[in-house]
Amino acid sequence: MHTKVWLYEDNAGGLFIGKENGPWYDVTNTTSTFADDAQAYAADDTADWTVDCYTDEPNAPIVAAWQDGSITYPDYVGSKYPGIAATRYIGS
């Protein structure tokens, strides 16, 4: 499995995860972690998810990425450091 899952955080603390071409899920109020959700999403194991799903990419910067069990923090134009909500969701 080499699917990369991105974590987005908007200015209001809203959290979204998505793959390169979507869809994107609103995980703002989930009780799980980014690692658990990203692994399930990469494996297409989302049939039981009850969070909102969008076909358009969130209007928010990417703050982290998950791939093959590792979380990284992108360093490129348009990305930013995780805020409070993302830090809690990531678990760091």
Note if the bond before 74 is cis, omega within 30 degrees: no
What pLDDT does residue 68 have?
93
- CA distance linking residue 84 with residue 76, whole number of Å: 20
Residue 39 tokens read as 């692994």
pTM exceeds 0.85, yes or no: yes
Question: Per-residue pLDDT for the chain (92 aa), expressed as one digit of tens each?
Answer: 588 999 999 999 999 999 989 999 999 999 999 999 999 999 999 999 999 999 999 999 999 999 999 999 988 777 888 999 999 999 85
Between CA 88 and CA 35, with CA 63 as vertex, the angle to 5 degrees is 55
